[in-house]
Structure 1
Amino acid sequence: MVIATFIQAIATIISMLLNLYIWILIIATLLSWVRPDPYNPIVQVLYRLSEPVFAKVRKIIPTNIGGLDIAPLIVIVALKFIDLTLVKILYSFAQGA
Structure 2
Amino acid sequence: MTEAYFTNPLIFLVKTLFGLFIALVIIRFLLQWVRADFYNPISQFVVKFTSPVLRPLRKVIPGYAGVDFAAIVLAWLLKACELALLSMLMGLGRNPLAALGWALPALVSLVISIFLFAVLIRVILSWVNPDPYNPGVMLLSDVTDPIMRPAQRLLPPMSGIDLSPMVVMIGLVLLQMLLLPPLRLLTGSPF
- TM-score, structure 2 length as denominator? 0.45
Q: Which residue pairs with 1:73 in the alignment?
A: 166
Q: 1:49 matched to which residue of 2?
A: 143
More strand by share: 1
Work out the number of aligned pairs and report it: 94
1:48-92 CA deviation, whole Å, 9 max, x = no partner? 112332221122x22434532111011111111111221111111
- Distance in 2 of aligned mates of 1:51 and 1:79: 14
Match in the other structure for 2:182: 89
Bigger CA radius of gyration: 2
- The one-letter code sitting in structure 1 at the alignment partner of 2:139 is V
| Structure 1 spans left out of the alignment, 5+ residues | none
- In the alignment, is residue 21 of structure 1 matched against residue 140 of structure 2? no
Q: What percent of counterpart residues are identical?
A: 26
Q: Which residue number in structure 2 is paired with residue 40 of structure 1?
A: 134
Indicate the structure whose relative CO is greater, using CA pairs within 8 Å and at least 6 residues apart. Answer: 1
Distance in 1 of aligned mates of 2:141 and 2:121: 10
Q: List structure 1 runs of 4+ shifted beyond 6 angstroms.
A: none
